[in-house]
Structure 1
């Protein structure tokens, strides 16, 4: 049975949540492997929209085991709110398990990140201010890290927190001029959420390895996107984890030979949130029109996303880095009624043309996109049920994207809903269980 990684091919916000939800209805296990509450995976069905920050998008399928694995960082308060919201909507959570090895975002992480971003001013990274980066930094520092297993072991927690808090209080006061945190208040807050979360926390590695050994269908849900990967993305304007397909192994304990397929999720245009290079970015009315039509506002922060045309050098790079088996092409309905659509086929930098993403990512700040124009498509395609229902110009666009990534398009998405998902001939071969 297949083990499939679903990975974002751009700067996140590609609609990975929808694809994971669609796949999870036919899967035994759904696994989150990286990131934290900076994710905002949207699932739409039965006229309801659900936004997932940490809990896997497969949670809406009661028969799917949902695992939040080692590679995540978790804010106990925000996770408790997310769990409570799902309960109120009648979602069962007895299939949810959280790794005892996932790291905890503590109150000082958010305070330090906010202070750092303020101090950096125009040089800021543009983070979600949720403490993600500082928490991952403590994971690498080791002695100052708190894990979910520590959170629910109050004796361990009371031993670990005081020296870490002393370190951070000194930093907050001396470097940033901020008020210190009170030890008793921090411990009391931790104990409150520890009681709420304890029933879900355990050994997810064992659960996942047993499922893989038993041949269970498994989908690995990446958050953010390839261009935000800590090593492969547009550093330093990246996330602090590994969204790429390889991150599924790092963040779960599953070996690479246990992965069968990698599905790359591509939006029909490009968007990103936060600072950093964006060669195909649109500005002015063109950007506003695309942003409004695509409802391009962050699911987590509400910030307006920067938008632009599709970027072939980025996509071909992402396809190689992730070894994609196939891709899904999302939000093609958003581009309806544009007279022409564009794909950046190369960059012009200092008089030289680049068809590959330069290893020196800072060069992207000087990149002038070299565009190829395509005939647009018109009319409302949100009700299309098969590829035959789509206009010829859109078929041409799909074929061009396939050439860019050197992989077939398996799914074309014509809207946010589950039922707005078209399986191509290639998709029927790769994902036959979806056509049943």
Structure 2
């Protein structure tokens, strides 16, 4: 069977910690989409050392757990090599527990250059790209021009690379992009040689053979549901399907293999970069959320936009994904607030609705709030559900009832042990 953990907002929900928390219950952790624009933060070892993973699945620090980078991922060899060095520094043997699908597409240096050139050309209409080359790599994938991991092992790899690079150079010339990327290329080819030493496998056979043997798989999503290329706040979205349907195409597993879908949501909302964000706060409260929650991008370092929880968008994400349970993260960030707000509907151009509109750009979207009492208690030290303050229980109950989905866990701090199970057995 395959269980799924994915984000229900605009990314940065704290998925890395949650995958790490559940990983020991699974045989395989598999990334199914996205690229190095992801930033999954873990705290590992006896000293709780902070590690940010961009491409390697978040189960890599668990002994006996196999980690697969699936075909739906776009892979940057340079980032991967750097990340592998960090992970190996903790004594992890990546030759034993990291596998890469030969169908995963590669991010070339010219993809990064195209990303940068395209974003610069947009001026004030920038979409907030991380400039990692994700979009151009997916464009080459759908344009049937891309180079895949398996191609590294073919004799004509260099020829294929030069052919694609020449195509990219013509596009860069149109942008008048003159930056010297020769250092990027040198680093890329060094990283390619490293990548060839890792376990490159036929990913769909690898994972289905494991399932046939009764192995348990946890599919790890990157970014968030509201950034999905089809269902997110287009055009301010990522370039892949971040919803649960992407698991099937991103790993090569059939829909009936999927069992549980665990959605991760913050106790409030954040967003990095441009794009619609109905509940964004431009006041002291928003600044306080950012400060207390340390809301700065794990990949980019950019300050995150902050706001109250948007139940309209969250319910939308729940039904798109078929979410069976929710993990609510960063609940402790709300400890300091006297009053909390939950958005339960919108007014879109003056018309009341509980639906996410097809197009949010260019619309006047007014969130309609209901107020709830804060708990004013240090929740980060709480270990069991009975010890949670009543106001927090009420807050969680309202959210759960609105969504029609249970909140099964509350994360109340960055540490591995800072998580409270809300359902008793």
TM-score (norm 2): 0.96
CA 1:186/1:305 → structure 2, altered by over 3 Å: closer, same or farther?
Answer: closer
Matches for 1:177-216 after TM superposition, within 5 Å: 177-178=177-178, 189-198=187-196, 199-216=198-215
CA–CA distance in structure 1, aligned partners of residues 84 and 369 of structure 2: 45
Offset, 1:351: 1.9
Partner of 2:370: 372
Aligned residues: 421
After superposing on structure 2, the runs of 4+ consecutive aligned residues of structure 1 that deviate more than 6 Å are: none
CA contact (8 A) 1:33 1:251 kept: yes
Q: How does 1:397-436 map to 2 (within 5 A)?
A: 397-425=395-423
Q: CA deviation at 1:181?
A: 6.0
Cα offset, 1:151, TM superposition? 2.4
Partners of 1:112 and 1:323 in 2: CA distance: 36
* Distance (Å, rounded) in 2 between the aligned partners of 1:200 and 1:54: 15
Partner of 1:147: 148
1:50 corresponds to which residue?
51
1:117 aligned partner: 119
SS where residue 11 of structure 1 aligns?
coil
**SS of structure 2 residue aligned to 1:251:** helix
Q: Distance in 1 between matches of 2:184 and 2:2?
A: 40
**Aligned in 2, Cα 1:180/1:140: closer, same or farther, shift over 3 Å?**
farther
Trace 1:347-362 onto structure 2 (pairs within 5 A). Answer: 347-362=346-361
Matches of 1:341 and 1:92, distance apart in 2: 46
Inter-CA distance 194–354: structure 2 relative to 1 (3 Å threshold): same
In structure 1, the gaps of 5 or more residues are 430-436
Distance 2:153 2:170 in 1: 26
- Cα displacement (A) at 1:422: 1.0
SS in 2 for 1:13: coil
User: Given that residues 315 and 404 in structure 1 are in contact (C-alpha distance below 8 angstroms), is that contact kept between their aligned partners in structure 2?
Assistant: no
Equivalent residues in 2 for 1:186-335, closer than 5 Å? 189-198=187-196, 199-335=198-334
Of the structure 1 ranges 185-194 and 169-178, higher mean CA displacement relative to structure 2 is found in: 185-194
The equivalences for 1:125-144 within 5 A come to 125-142=127-144, 144=145
> Is the 1:69–1:99 contact (alpha carbons within 8 Å) kept by the matching residues of 2?
yes
SS at 2:92's partner residue? Answer: coil
Deviates more, 1:71-80 or 1:190-199: 190-199
Displacement after TM superposition at 1:176 (Å): 2.4
DSSP 3-state at the match of 2:256 = helix
Q: Which whole-Å CA distance do the structure 1 matches of 2:18 and 2:184 have between them? A: 38
Let me know the Cα RMSD of the aligned residues. Answer: 1.6
Q: Deviations over 1:50-107 (max 9, x none)?
A: 2110000000112111000000001111110000111122223221001111111001
Measure the CA separation in 2 of the matches of 1:176 and 1:320: 44
**Conserved? CA contact 1:152–1:194, under 8 Å:** no
Equivalent residues of 2:117, 2:175 under 8 A apart = no
Tell me, yes or no, if the aligned pair for 1:54 and 1:68 is still in contact at 8 Å: yes
- Contact 1:39–1:223 (CA under 8 A) maintained in structure 2: yes
Contact 2:5–2:220 (8 Å) recurs in 1:
yes
**Residue matched to 2:89:** 88
Measured in 2, the distance between the counterparts of 1:221 and 1:191 equals 28
Unaligned runs of 5+ in 2: none
Match in the other structure for 2:31: 32
Residue pair 2:31, 2:221 contacting (<8 A) in 1 also? yes
2:172 matched residue in structure 1: 172
Matches within 5 A, 1:10-25: 10-25=9-24
Residue equivalent to 1:393: 391
Cα separation, 2, equivalents of 1:161 and 1:322: 37
**Partner secondary structure for residue 124 of structure 2:** helix
> Is the CA contact (8 Å cut-off) linking 2:203 and 2:252 kept in structure 1?
no
Instruction: Tell me by how many angstroms 1:187 deviates.
Output: 7.0
Question: Offset of 1:404 from its aligned partner?
Answer: 2.2
Deviation of 1:167 after TM superposition, in Å, equals 1.4
190 and 422 in structure 1: CA distance in 2 versus 1, 3 angstrom threshold: same
- Secondary structure at the aligned position of 1:35 is classed as coil
